[in-house]
Amino acid sequence: MKIAVAGATGRMGRLLVEAAFNAQDATLVGALSKAGNGGLGQDAGAFFGHATGVVITDDMDAVLESADVLIDFTRPQGTLAYLGAAQRHGVKMVIGTTGFDAAELDLIRAASKSLAVMLAPSTSASLNATLQLIALAAKNFSRGYDVEVVEAHHRYKVDAPSGTALAIGEAIAAALGRNLDDCAVYDRHGVTGAREPSTIGFSAIRGGDIVGEHTVLFIGEGEQIKIAHKTLNRLPYVRGALLAARFLMDKDSGLFDMQDVLR
């Protein structure tokens, strides 16, 4: 696989650069960052002490001319710009960016008609397996239990609830035969009144260097069932992103998620 990495100077981007460089079945062919970034012009492996021969650049077209897959964990605006360049060059995309609005998601869906795209709020394989456990639990605790989703991330995360928390909410709502848009409660303040039994509550914690924690509570009379997933570092996301890139290699078009990769 010839891999290019977007956001190559960020926390995830640096780890992805290192993983692609070290992977036996991959070649790092490009490292992208936005115009004005202080890392432009540097070797992409400088931060982990290796000369990769790949220079960090903001020239999307030059990089994507030689890439098979672009891995992107940036911000929605940046992702959509990279998506346009990927379409021009027929480069597959693994997108781990979160915080897209409905219109932006429509643009990704439209692009996937001619391009293979893997879009997931979390590329952690274990987190996506946990989603299956949560959906199973939701079916078993569909009556008499209130559902709460609690997520925690580092102080620099800009969107809330996290994309993974929303994916968890979608999985629960689907298992219960509900529409998340109709039953989600994202904020409680003041006199809120008694809880509506059909709602799914969300709470977001931001602080320090928390990588990612997600907990689902099924709260009944006299008992609670808790399913939790805690990420201790970003390596599970990196491993999952490379797994997704491998998955896309024989795909010409289509929109996929990590559940497809796991299957």
Q: Which residues are identified as catalytic? A: 153, 157
For the chain, domain boundaries: 2-119+234-262, 125-231
Mean residue pLDDT across the chain? 95
User: Are 13 and 97 contacting, i.e. CB atoms less than 8 angstroms apart?
Assistant: no
| Rounded Cα–Cα distance for residues 195 and 191 (Å) | 11
Domains 2-119+234-262 and 125-231 share a fold: no
pTM of the shown model: 0.88
* Per-residue model confidence as pLDDT tens digits over 164-186: 999 999 999 999 999 999 999 99
Rounded distance, CA 258 to CA 244, Å? 7
Domain 2-119+234-262 adopts which CATH fold?
A: Rossmann fold (3.40.50)
Q: Is 54 left (phi over 0), alpha (psi -120 to 50) or beta?
A: beta
Give tens-digit pLDDT for 4-29: 999 999 999 999 999 999 999 999 99
The tens digit of pLDDT for each residue in 216-251 reads: 999 999 999 999 999 999 999 999 999 999 999 999
Residue 57: how many other CB atoms lie within 10 Å: 20
pLDDT tens profile 189-202: 999 999 999 999 99
**CATH, range 125-231:** 3.30.360.10
